[in-house]
Amino acid sequence: MARRRRVSSSIWRIFSVICAGCCCDCAVRVAESRMSQNPETSRPASEPADSDCDVLVLGGGPGGYSAAFRSADLGRRVILVEQYATLGGVCLNVGCIPSKALLHVTGAMEEARALAAAGVTFAAPQVDLDRLRAHKDGVVRTLTSGLAGMAKGRKVTVVQGFGRFVDAQQIEVALPDGGSRRIRFAQAIVAAGSRPVRLPFLPESPRIVTSTGALALPAIPRRLLVIGGGIIGLEMATVYSALGSRITVAELGPTLMPGADRDLVKVWQKKNAWRFDRLLLDTGVVAARVLPESSAGERGEKRAETVASGELGKTGKMGNSAETGKTGEFAESAEFADSADIEVTFSNGETEVFDGVLVAVGRAPNGGLIGAEQAGIAVDARGFIPVDATMRTNVPHIFAVGDIVGQPMLAHKAVHEAHVAAVVAAGGKDAFDPLQIPSVAYTDPELAWTGKSERQCRDEGIAYGKSVFPWAASGRALANGRDEGFTKLIFDEQTHRVIGGGIVGPHAGDLIGEISLAIELGADASDIGRTIHPHPTLGETIGLAAEVFEGTCTDLPAARKR
């Protein structure tokens, strides 16, 4: 029995590495199977708990660790259950953080190339994928180790394993070694997150990945299909384009990045037209197949010849550019190299072959995977757990936060919800009632928006006014060689209070916070316009946009005063 348990432990560690945050719920299925079939793991609800706590937090992502740490700061005894070996969840391990590490590197590559217009040229970049992966992983490791240290410092007990409710006071955790642990709690905060949506008709292939697989950089496909024109898909398209892939995007809806106003997206689309072979809107993928084995064999032979000639190794030249459109050679994982290309059929009837497919069609909440029904927790048909403004579920002592409670699925939203849940669970008074939740697409240029969009105002019948300051009139944007963007503010037509805004351009995500704060404080155009901003900066375009609304801007041609 001991030997069998050691084998189970090894298998679990492999799953933890391969499947952390992946689109398939394979690790979930393994844990569920273990709990249902192993008599040591599946225990009667009446059996005594192995440990107890004041607050049980299920999930170690931004919402989960924030809820655990805030609860500990409030004097509670906390146990945090996390499926994977490190804290941070999808965001830190296989989402927000590693993607930004790659976007930073590839953005610097493209900035260097753009300097040719100013008379400065560099040799073509040499990309070592192994070192690039190591850089990304090092960033993640620094942050996850920091979280582990903070958990230890706060005396938060972290239990690795897959947790499911046994009843309204207990949770059972399937442990990596094949055993189980029963935890009794006075209160619980569910932060079990979400997972990428799967397209059931897609075949199994190393060449078909979700964002998790794409972040692992298994290879740089010559032709990459991105299914889904949202933020995640377009961010990864930006990375792979900079590294040498030619990109096709298929989006089922009529627009890219549907949460943003169209004027913002149009600027991005014009700037990035060179990246794409095709942008297919109102177009879905209806079928896909792995090409016959002979195709994979031929590709393997060609790869072997390339390696033998010394043309392909760890380091390759990046040759994809607006001027050449050529693709260089990169190290590929053996699994990727030995597999066949993917033939895809679109909803318009066209068929096309790609050597890489990225599936980025959204995320599904994990409400149906945690045994919520055993605790009496309501879960809707989509897998979301309804909560009130205090983040309380229909079971009074159980709270829920993050992706699992509804849109938008954003880490910064989850953190604030977690703080509310922790305070209320400790007996305090708090509520989650923001006037705005900012969104950012970390593409190039970046798009950021917050509060009401123009489309929302029209749909809700809100009388609004808007003002736009073009970055073509910004000294800093011109000096940076990036004057394609603009800053937009949206105001209540009667009160002149700012109710929304959007920015498109480099560092838009760093700038949107001022508009978010203005909305929360009820600032009007005069408040923003009369706030002295440093010059020359991109940030001053927010103040200038407010002046445009007031009719007092002297950095643009004279306009009618309000």
Catalytic residues, by residue number, are: 535
Determine the 3-state secondary structure of 280 from DSSP: strand
CA dihedral 413, 371, 79, 174 (to 10 degrees): -120
Contact by Cβ (8 Å): 356, 202? no
Residues 183/184/188/194 CA torsion (nearest 10 deg): 30
On the 0-12 / 13-18 / 19+ scale of CB atoms within 10 A, 1 is exposed
Distance from C-alpha of 208 to C-alpha of 526, rounded to nearest angstrom: 52
Distances (CA, A) of 57 to 162, 382, 388: 12, 22, 18
Neighbouring residues of 453: CB distance < 8 A, sequence distance ≥ 6: 259, 260, 261, 490, 500, 502
Q: Which two tokens stand for residue 340?
A: 């066949």
Any bridge partners for residue 121, and if so which?
Answer: none
Nearest to 443 by CA among 239, 250, 223, 225: 239
The answer for residues whose C-beta is within 8 angstroms of residue 231's C-beta and 6 or more apart is 257, 259, 439, 440, 441, 442, 443
379 within 8 A of 373, measured Cβ to Cβ: yes
Is 320:329 a contact under the CB 8 Å cutoff?
no
Closest by Cα among 317, 342, 319 to 331: 317
Go through 518-532 and write b for each residue having 16 or more CB atoms within 10 A of its CB, e for each that does not.
Answer: bbeeebbbeebbeee
Contact (CB, 8 A) for 98 and 215: yes
**Cα–Cα distance measured from residue 553 to residue 540, given in angstroms and rounded to the nearest whole number:** 12
DSSP string for residues in 25-42: -HHHHHHHHHHHH-TTTS
Place of tokens 């928006």: 449
Instruction: Check: CB of residue 328 under 8 Å from CB of residue 222.
Output: no
Q: What six digits make up the tokens of 2? A: 């001991």
DSSP bridge pairs for 56: 79, 188
Helices 540-550 and 508-521: angle between axes, nearest 10 degrees: 50
